[in-house]
């Protein structure tokens, strides 16, 4: 009973935050030509070599060379080296399941290929890591699209004995299609406020105001060794998603008002329409990995009897 109680308590996501990242100085960046504490950058002369640096990574055989791809501006290289995305990736190499933890793989070089800025911060980072199997000396596929931490919310609304799920329909240029998916968004900072971001993204994308205390962290159900997050595409992307559940009651008029409603921050390019579908049909209505994963966690939690009961009288506010 005590174990079940602890499992149920860990579902509440408002107390969970990602661990803060260490300062960049702890990565021990040094100049290639000697001298500690600086990054060796090329001049603006077109004939000069590309910016480069070395990083001391625990578990690596020696200092790891980091170099900019041809054409990458020096300013972008600096931002990439300083970014939370890059530092978090380096930290992951040294965790309990990190690639460098047991000495079977070695990291020799990192090529920074591209940087996309979201205002003042690095939003996306593209790089290639040369990681070698020490036994076979073969390279492990090392192309990385870094985008960091994100959240998604399974919103279930009960109305007249029927349970509905709220989805967003929006243009997804990488797949060249419109996509039905759970309301979701990226974390904007290093603090890792998953539940706060989830509530804010739902309000921005759907107009529904959620109560913080009613949010349930579904990914907290996973074994702690997983990191308690979902990785949708670890073969090429570092994205980690916290999946949350919200349950509320609404009247029929609210369901009708949500159906087809246009939302999103249009000044940021968000062209979103809401779609409301019966929960029983959700698994067949979308190919969104976030939605399908949330369904699996939700159903298994109910089956195991560790899902908290929804708050009494919990009404979704529009």
What was the pLDDT predicted at 46?
Answer: 53
What was the pLDDT predicted at 61?
Answer: 81
Beta strands in 260-318 (DSSP E): 262-263, 272-278
Torsion of CA 19, 264, 178, 229, to 10 degrees: 10
Q: How many DSSP H helices and E strands does the chain contain?
A: 7, 15
What was the pLDDT predicted at 139?
Answer: 95
Q: Which residue has the tokens 């739902």?
A: 202
In degrees and rounded to multiples of 5, residue 17 shows phi and psi of: -135, 150
DSSP 289: H
Q: What is the pLDDT along the chain (318 residues), one digit of tens a residue?
A: 444 444 444 444 434 444 455 444 344 444 333 333 334 444 445 556 889 999 999 888 889 999 999 999 999 999 999 999 999 999 999 998 999 999 999 999 999 999 999 988 999 999 999 999 999 999 999 999 999 999 999 999 999 999 999 999 999 999 999 999 999 999 876 666 888 888 888 888 888 888 888 999 999 999 999 999 999 999 999 999 999 999 999 999 999 999 999 886 556 556 899 999 999 999 999 999 999 999 999 999 999 999 988 876 555 555
Structure tokens that stand for 99 in this block:
């690639």
Distance separating alpha carbons of residues 8 and 3, to the nearest angstrom: 9
In degrees and rounded to multiples of 5, residue 221 shows phi and psi of: -75, -25
The model scores a pTM over 0.85:
no
Which is nearest to 139 in space by CA: 147, 148, 129? 129
């Amino acid at each position: 009973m005590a174990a079940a109680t602890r499992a149920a308590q860990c579902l509440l996501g408002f107390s969970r935050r990602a661990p803060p990242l260490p300062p960049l100085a702890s990565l021990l960046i040094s100049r290639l030509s000697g001298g500690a504490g600086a990054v060796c950058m090329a001049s603006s002369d077109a004939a000069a070599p590309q910016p480069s640096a070395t990083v001391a990574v625990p578990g690596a055989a020696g200092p790891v060379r980091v170099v900019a791809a041809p054409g990458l501006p020096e300013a972008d290289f600096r931002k990439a080296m300083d970014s939370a995305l890059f530092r978090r990736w380096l930290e992951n190499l040294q965790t309990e399941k990190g690639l460098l933890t047991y000495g079977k793989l070695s990291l020799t070089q990192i090529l920074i290929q591209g940087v996309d800025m979201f205002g003042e911060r690095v939003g996306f980072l593209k790089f290639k890591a040369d990681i070698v199997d020490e036994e076979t000396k073969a390279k492990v596929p090392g192309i990385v699209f870094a985008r960091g931490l994100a959240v998604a919310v399974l919103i279930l609304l009960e109305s007249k004995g029927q349970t509905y799920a709220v989805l967003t329909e929006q243009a997804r240029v990488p797949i060249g299609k419109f996509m039905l998916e759970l309301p979701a968004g990226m974390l904007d900072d290093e603090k890792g406020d998953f539940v706060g971001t989830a509530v804010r993204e739902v309000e921005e994308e759907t107009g529904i105001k959620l109560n913080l205390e009613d949010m349930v962290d579904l990914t907290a159900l996973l074994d702690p060794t997983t990191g308690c997050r979902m990785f949708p595409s670890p073969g090429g992307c570092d994205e980690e998603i916290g999946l949350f559940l919200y349950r509320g009651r609404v009247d029929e008029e609210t369901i009708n008002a949500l159906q087809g409603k246009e939302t999103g921050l249009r000044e940021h390019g968000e062209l979103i329409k809401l779609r409301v579908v019966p929960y029983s049909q959700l698994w067949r209505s979308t190919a969104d990995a976030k939605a399908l994963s949330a369904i699996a966690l939700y159903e298994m939690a109910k089956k195991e009897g560790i899902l908290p009961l929804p708050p009494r009288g919990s009404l979704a506010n529009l």
